[in-house]
Amino acid sequence: MADLDSDSRQLLIPEADHEVHPGPMNIQFESSDLRSNRPFHVEPTNIVGASHVAQRVSDRAAAMSKRIHYYSRLAAPADQALVAPDHVVPAPEERYVYSPLGSASKLQSCPEGSGRNSSLVTIFMIWNTMMGTSILSIPWGIKQAGFTTGVCIILLMGLLTLYCCYRVVRSRATIPSVDTAAWEFPDVCRHYFGAFGQWSSLLFSLVSLVGAMVVYWVLMSNFLFNTGKFMFNFIHHINDTDAVLRTNDSNPVVCPSAGSGRPDNGSAVLSADAAGLPQFEAWWDKSRTVPFYLVGLLLPLLSFRSPSFFARFNVLGTVSVVYLTFLVTLKAARSGFHLEFHWFEPTEFFVPEIRARFPQLTGVLTLAFFIHNCVITLLKSNKNQEHNVRDLSIAYLLVTLTYLYIGVLVFAAFPSPPLSKDCIEQNFLDNFPSSDVLSFVARIFLLFQMVTVYPLLGYLARVQLLGHVFGDPYPSVFHVLVLNLVIVGAGVSMACLYPNIGGIIRFSGAACGLAFVFVYPSLIHILSLRHEDRLTWPTLAFHVLLIVLGLANLLAQFFM
């Protein structure tokens, strides 16, 4: 576009002289000016590829574009004389990037603050991204903390993480000197804390990713095992009544961890061709064999160069959550509420309302409410940027409500007279036997969803780790294979040795939450205020308290 500053120098020459040949004027021009003022310079991004079905600009529109371009050269920037009025310029929805070669492409990249998603879509996207598999551990977490404490902690953690998320969203605005339009939160950390910030944010991000992938592996083995068992029993008409504690009705709830460990000698009612059962149980074991079978399925998927194929299945996550809600409601409706309030002492069937183990719930919730490493990107596509904070708050509210709903319902409806509340498993679907149809469907949904999300997580881990260490997300098949084997190995070993998703979630949640939720946003806020000399004692005290809380959260996971 025209270098209008030097144009304005022309305007100081009186009109009459203009027809006189100007003579060598004292205009400074850089050779770079020439390059930038080339009249037909078209940014490469504006050329639509030959394979695209290029939209051609109408002649009228091309003429108008040329006209506006030409008129802008005639007047100084301050002059309003030849600025196109609103009724002449096309509406914002109809604007295209026009190449003088005649083709047009709709603006793809949204410059700062001009996304195209309505508030509702943004809120849904945030909700969808936050809803992870930690929803399965919320009832267990409430049980570990006590019912009242649990509910209070859920609300408080929601507020706390929302505030820290708000700090993350505002962190880019604290950097006035650099163009931060394409930055994510790790880039902000790098700006404030240098290389240490970059590497530590990478490390913690990887912790959360690898933690999630390990959890996925454990859950996938679990669901695959149960699915296989259900189908085997269904085909061979085996009525599976293991020696586990269960309720006596048509849709039982079981307590797998009570009793004498795993029922090796399952006293199943055998039907005629049940001879294969012991062999089946030998080959199809939750922690000994099934995790390995998954390797054959998932390791190839992990090696895909681009995960865009899997991104299409994003909708399965929402469907799973909706189905889980429906399942929980149904079960609760059948079972009714079983709540008793004992404040400090446990009873045979109930847990106290306040327990010392509540940090386990905060650990789980840190991961459950975690979105801080990608919230900036998600909010960029919001149409009305001034509603960002409002939409974020609404999304957090909805997430909190969802977690509360499922957690409270499962906990309250857990049939306590025959079974103790302590029986609530870290994955609440484990409380339903593999013969239960509704939970079978839920497991299938979740299995499919996880199989599609797992390669995405692997891709993210690969891009971050290999991208930062080697500079290239796909340096060679060998590198990628080694990384995949490491991740898969971790998943398999956890599934074999320590398949407690609650534990894995709380440790990884507290660890990466320490960095991204508690420490970095608060530190950045304190530092930016100190730069501007606006730091007050209350603010400092509050944010230091947040940092201490984060540390305490992590340490408590080891001790409580």
Partner 1 sequence: MEESDSEKKMEKENLGPRADPPIGEPEGSLGWALPNTALKKKVLLMGKSGSGKTSMRSIIFANYIARDTRRLGATILDRLHSLQINSSLSTYSLVDSVGNTRTFDVEHSHVRFLGNLVLNLWDCGGQDTFMENYFTSQRDNIFRNVEVLIYVFDVESRELEKDMHYYQSCLEAILQNSPDAKIFCLVHKMDLVQEDQRDLIFKEREEDLRRLSRPLECSCFRTSIWDETLYKAWSSIVYQLIPNVQQLEMNLRNFAEIIEADEVLLFERATFLVISHYQCKEQRDAHRFEKISNIIKQFKLSCSKLAASFQSMEVRNSNFAAFIDIFTSNTYVMVVMSDPSIPSAATLINIRNARKHFEKLERVDGPKQCLLMR
Other beta carbons within 10 Å of 59: 9
Specify the residue, 60 or 312, whose C-beta has the smaller distance to partner 1. Answer: 60
Least distance (Å) between residue 317 CB and partner 1? 50
Checking DSSP bridges between strand 55-56 and strand 103-106, what pairing results, if any? antiparallel
Q: Which of 53, 81, 272, 477 binds partner 1 (CB under 8 A)?
A: 81
Specify the residue, 20 or 272, whose C-beta has the smaller distance to partner 1. Answer: 20
Verify binding: residue 86, partner 1, rule CB under 8 A.
no
From 5-13, 142-150, 157-165, 174-182, give the range in contact with partner 1 by CB under 8 A. Answer: 5-13
How many residues line the site for partner 1 (CB under 8 A)?
42
The contacts of residue 20 (CB under 8 Å, 6+ apart) are: none
Least distance (Å) between residue 39 CB and partner 1? 6
d(CA 258, CA 285): 19
In DSSP terms, which residues pair with 104 in a beta bridge?
55, 98
Q: Which of 1, 5, 11, 182 binds partner 1 (CB under 8 A)?
A: 11
Residues in the chain: 560
For residues 311 to 350, the per-residue mask of contacts with partner 1, x marking binding by CB under 8 A and - elsewhere, is ----------------------------------------
Least distance (Å) between residue 8 CB and partner 1? 9
d(CA 248, CA 511): 42
Q: Which of 47, 48, 54, 82 binds partner 1 (CB under 8 A)?
A: 82
Specify the residue, 83 or 333, whose C-beta has the smaller distance to partner 1. Answer: 83
Q: Which of 1, 88, 120, 322 binds partner 1 (CB under 8 A)?
A: 88
Angstrom CA distances, 541 to 122, 261, 443, 531, 548, stand at: 33, 49, 46, 17, 10
User: 371: closest CA among 168, 139, 206?
Assistant: 168
Least distance (Å) between residue 45 CB and partner 1? 22
Verify binding: residue 56, partner 1, rule CB under 8 A.
no
- Looking up tokens 């030849």 gives 82
User: 170: closest CA among 545, 526, 550?
Assistant: 526
Q: Phi/psi zone of residue 111: left (φ > 0), alpha (ψ -120 to 50 degrees), beta?
A: beta
Verify binding: residue 83, partner 1, rule CB under 8 A.
no
Specify the residue, 14 or 336, whose C-beta has the smaller distance to partner 1. Answer: 14
Verify binding: residue 14, partner 1, rule CB under 8 A.
yes
DSSP three-state, residue 96: strand
Specify the residue, 22 or 276, whose C-beta has the smaller distance to partner 1. Answer: 22
User: 328: closest CA among 248, 409, 386, 243?
Assistant: 409
Verify binding: residue 59, partner 1, rule CB under 8 A.
yes
d(CA 523, CA 551): 13
From 63-71, 406-414, 532-540, 546-554, give the range in contact with partner 1 by CB under 8 A. Answer: 63-71
Scan residues 208-247 and list those touching partner 1 (CB under 8 A).
none
Least distance (Å) between residue 390 CB and partner 1? 39
Verify binding: residue 489, partner 1, rule CB under 8 A.
no
Q: What angle do CA 292, 296, 301 make, to 5 degrees?
A: 125
Ranges of H-type helices in 369-500: 375-380, 388-413, 437-470, 477-497
Specify the residue, 17 or 43, whose C-beta has the smaller distance to partner 1. Answer: 17
Verify binding: residue 77, partner 1, rule CB under 8 A.
no
**Cβ contacts of 182-191, under 8 Å, gap ≥ 24:** 183/376, 184/373, 184/374, 184/376, 184/377, 185/372, 185/373, 185/375, 185/376, 185/516, 185/520, 186/373, 188/524, 189/520, 189/524
| Tokens coding 513 | 């939450």
From 8-16, 160-168, 248-256, 359-367, give the range in contact with partner 1 by CB under 8 A. Answer: 8-16
From 74-82, 108-116, 414-422, 436-444, give the range in contact with partner 1 by CB under 8 A. Answer: 74-82
For residues 518 to 537, the per-residue mask of contacts with partner 1, x marking binding by CB under 8 A and - elsewhere, is --------------------
In DSSP terms, which residues pair with 97 in a beta bridge?
105
Scan residues 15-44 and list those touching partner 1 (CB under 8 A).
15-25, 27, 29, 37, 39
Specify the residue, 82 or 551, whose C-beta has the smaller distance to partner 1. Answer: 82
Verify binding: residue 71, partner 1, rule CB under 8 A.
yes
Instruction: Tell me how far the alpha carbon of residue 124 is from its chain's centroid.
Output: 12
Specify the residue, 67 or 305, whose C-beta has the smaller distance to partner 1. Answer: 67
The contacts of residue 502 (CB under 8 Å, 6+ apart) are: 137, 140, 141, 144, 360, 364, 426, 427
Specify the residue, 100 or 263, whose C-beta has the smaller distance to partner 1. Answer: 100
Residues at the interface with partner 1 (CB under 8 A): 2, 6-7, 10-11, 14-25, 27, 29, 37, 39, 59-60, 62-64, 66-67, 69-71, 73-76, 79, 81-82, 84-85, 87-88
